[in-house]
A and B are shown apart, each in its own frame.
Chain A
Amino acid sequence: MALNLKVQKKLKYFDMDLSLSCADGRMVVLIGPSGGGKTTLVRMVAGLSMPDEGRIDFHGEAWFDSGRGINLPTRKRRIGYVFQEYTLFPHLNLYDNAAFAAVDRKEVDGLMELFGIAHLRKRKPHLVSGGERQRCALCQALARRPRMLLLDEPFSALDVVTRRGLREELKALKNNLSFPILYVTHDIGEALFLADEILPIVEGRIDRGWMQRTIAREPSAANSVRATREPRLALAY
Chain B
Amino acid sequence: MDFLSLYVTLKLALVATILLLLIAAPIAYVLAYAHFPGKALFEALIYLPIALPPTVMGFYLILAMGPKGAVGRAWGLLTGGSLLFTFLGIVAASVLYSIPFAVQPIKAAFLKIDPRLLENAAVLGLSRFAAFIRVVLPNSIGGMAAASILVFLHTIGAFGVLLMVGGSVPGVTKVASIAVYEAVEAMDYRTAGWMSLCFIPISYIFLLLVNRLNGEARHGA
Contacts and interface: CB of A to CB of B under 8 A. Distances in A.
A76 B120 CA distance: 13
Given A90-B220, A91-B220, A140 B139 contact: no
B25 to A, nearest CB: 16
A8 to B, nearest CB: 23
Interface string A62-92: 0000000000011110111101001101110
A89 B139 contact: yes
B125 A75 contact: yes
A47 B123 CA distance: 9
A75 B121 CA distance: 8
Interface in B88-125: 114, 116-117, 119-120, 122-125
A1 interface: no
Contacts of A78: 125
B122 A48 contact: yes
- Tell me the interface secondary structure of chain B in the complex: helix
Interface residues of A, number: 24
A46 B114 contact: no
B107 to A, nearest CB: 19
A48 B117 CA distance: 12
Contacts of A46: 123
Given A89-B135, A89-B139, A91-B139, A81 B220 contact: no
B203 interface: no
26 contacts: A46-B123, A47-B122, A48-B123, A73-B122, A74-B119, A75-B124, A75-B125, A75-B126, A75-B127, A76-B125, A79-B123, A83-B116, A83-B119, A83-B120, A87-B114, A87-B116, A87-B117, A87-B119, A89-B117, A90-B220, A91-B138, A91-B220, A100-B124, A124-B220, A140-B124, A144-B125
Interface of A: 46-48, 73-76, 78-81, 83, 86-87, 89-91, 100-101, 124, 126-127, 140, 144
